[in-house]
Amino acid sequence: MVDFKTIVNDVKTGKSYNVAVSGHHANSLIGKNIGEVVDGIFVGLPGYKLKITGGSDGNGTPMRKDLPGGRKRKLLLSDGLGFHEKYPGERKRTAVRGSAISAEIVQINMAISEYGPKSVEEIFASGGAPAEK
C-alpha cells in the first residue's frame, strides 16, 4: 500500500493545501503522468478536476515532464528542472525521475483546473491545513 503527500494549489487564491492520500485512492494515482487531469475525489475534493504538475521521491529527486516512465535516471542537464546553472554554459549530470507516478514517489504536486460547487477553504477547514510557503 502506498501513501502520498499531495500538495493542492488553489490558483485563484494562491494558497496550497497538504493532503495525505492513501488506500485505493493512492493506488489509482499510480501510472498517471505529469500534465494529466484527474478527478478531485482522490484528494477529498469531489466535483473538482486537478492537474498533476510534478512531484518528488523520498530522496527529493524531482520528476521531469519530458522524461517518460517512472524510473530514476542521471541526465546531463544545462538548466531547468532539477539543476540551475551558476554560470552560462554550465552542465551537470543530475538524477531525475520520469513523468509517471510510481510507488517510489512520496510527494505529488497538483493544481486545480476546474472548480466544484463548494469552496476549497470550506472543504479543507476541518481536515487539511494550508501548506507553508
User: Which amino acid, residue 133?
Assistant: K
pLDDT of residue 104: 94
The answer, yes or no, to whether residue 129 has pLDDT greater than 90, is: no
pLDDT of residue 132: 46
Domain assignment present for 56: yes
Please, which pLDDT band fits residue 127 given cuts at 50, 70 and 90? low
Domain assignment present for 133: no
pLDDT of residue 133: 45
User: Which amino acid, residue 98?
Assistant: G
Domain assignment present for 132: no
pLDDT of residue 83: 86
Domain assignment present for 15: yes
pLDDT of residue 11: 92
Range of the domain at 114: 3-69+98-124
Q: What pLDDT, in 10s, does the model give residues 65-109?
A: 999 998 999 999 988 888 889 999 999 999 999 999 999 999 999
Tell me how many domains the chain contains: 1
Helix (H) or strand (E) holding 26: helix 24-29
Domain assignment present for 79: no
Question: What is the 8-class DSSP label of residue 29?
Answer: H
In angstroms, the CA 41 to CA 116 distance is 11
Q: What pLDDT, in 10s, does the model give residues 2-58?
A: 899 999 999 999 999 999 999 999 999 999 999 999 999 989 899 999 999 999 999
Residue 100: other Cβ atoms inside 10 A: 18
Domain assignment present for 91: no
Give the residue-averaged pLDDT of 104-122.
93
pLDDT of residue 131: 52
Domain assignment present for 14: yes
Domain assignment present for 92: no
